[in-house]
Structures are given as C-alpha cells and as structure tokens.
Amino acid sequence: GSNIGSQKERVVTEEEWLQKWEVGNIGFHKEQRHPLLQKYLDVLLNGKSGLRIFFPLCGKAVEMKWLADMGHNVVGVEVSEQALKDFFSEHSLPYCEEPVPEISGGKMFQSTSGNISLYCCSIYDLSSSIVGKFDGVWDRGALVAVNPCDRQRYASLMINLMEKNSSYLLVTVSYDPNKHKGPPFYVPESEIKSLFGSCCEIQCLEKVDDFSEKHKQWGLDYFLEVLYMLKFVA
C-alpha cells in the first residue's frame, strides 16, 4: 500500500511542465467534463449557490466554465500562461490581464464577467491574503502532479485556503508505482490521511477503472482513479 517505489525522489521541474504545454504533450487535459465531478457535483456544492471554487494547477480545465456558468466564482492557478490563454480563447471568453503586485512576475487573467480569475504563477506563491478562502475545491491532476517531496507543503497551503465547512473533491490515481515513474504520481490513501487527516473528515467515494492503451504503454496492468471527499470541519 504505502510503498511508492522510487517515486519519492522524483522531481518534475516547472520548465518541464511549461514544455509540455508548449509542445502540446498534454494527455492529462480532458476535453469533456470529468464524469466524477458531474456525478458528485451535488456533494461538492451541498445545495449552495454562489460558491468560491478553487482549481489548483488548473491548466485549461473545461469544468471551470461549467461551474462559472452555474453562478459560482471560479479561481484557478497554473504556471503555464499558454494554458490560461487557451482556456479563454477556446471558450470565446473575453478577459483582461493584470499583474499581481504580491507575486513577482505573477499575472491574473480575469474573465470580463468577473466570475473566473486565473492566476499565472507557482501555486506556492498563493496565500489566502492574495486569493481569499474557498468553499470548494476540485483537485484532479493537481495533487497527483505535485512532486512527492512537495506534498506536505501543498497540503498545508490547501488547508490554509479552505473555509470552515468547505468541501474538497480530490481525485488520485492508483497503480503499481514500481512500474511507472509518474506523473501522475501514485498517492496511497494512507498518505492522504497523514496529509489532511488532522483537519478533515476523509471519505473515499468511488474507485473507477481508468485503464487505457496509454497506461499499457507505460507498462502498467491496472490504473484506477480514486475519488475522495475531504470535509473541512468547523
């Protein structure tokens, strides 16, 4: 279970992520809304409207527009400026760009309607004093992309950004970490408990077989998506 093979030492640099976007090597981007978010959206929203919802390492996730169109305020962070510009152009959304004074070189792209604000910077440059706090998080492809050595730092930041009684939908992946170096990295349930257990109730909602030809090429014989609900209790 908790053996993550040689992945513990693996580091993917910011430059490598930028390169993936530049050359279009973005197999992690999904053109369709994620079925688990569609299925468990009610769990995330909990009957409330006008929530502030955070998309860590958002890329150009199509779900951001979907939730904004429902009347929620969406905030994302992504290191690739190209990904963010692609998001707005692919959805034909007008936007403006402004510097973020607290972050050296940081920019914020905001839809003209004002309900989508995407920060272009390292996620570790964010704080609640810059972006405020959130009622909900959709984390798919974020925790599993963070370098394993940075997970504690990532979790501490996410905990700091969450309102009391907020809901955090987290998608991790499960496979044999001795057969693939990642990303996406394997994050065992024991690790989620050690990262978030002190301030959250953690529930595993569903495990889905997501095995595909790509995973076969990676040398894997199984690949699961695992969805957790983290409830930040008051």
Q: Which whole-number Å values give the CA distances from 80 to 27, 40, 108, 119, 136, in the listed order?
A: 15, 28, 12, 10, 23
Per-residue pLDDT tens, the chain, 234 aa: give them: 445 567 989 999 999 999 999 999 999 999 999 999 999 999 999 999 999 999 999 999 999 999 999 999 999 999 999 999 999 999 999 999 999 999 999 999 999 999 999 999 999 999 999 999 999 999 999 999 999 999 999 999 999 999 999 999 999 999 999 999 999 999 999 999 999 999 999 999 999 999 999 999 999 999 999 999 999 986
> 128: which strand partners?
none
Task: Measure the CA–CA gap between 178 and 142, rounded to whole angstroms.
Answer: 21
Task: Measure the CA–CA gap between 86 and 91, rounded to whole angstroms.
Answer: 8
Domain range list for the chain: 14-232
Q: Which positions make up the binding site for S-adenosyl-L-methionine?
A: 17-28, 57, 78, 122-123, 140
Quick one: which H or E segment has residue 21?
A: helix 14-23
Whole-structure pTM value: 0.97
Q: Which positions make up the binding site?
A: 17-28, 57, 78, 122-123, 140
Output the CATH code of domain 14-232.
3.40.50.150
Task: Measure the CA–CA gap between 6 and 29, rounded to whole angstroms.
Answer: 25
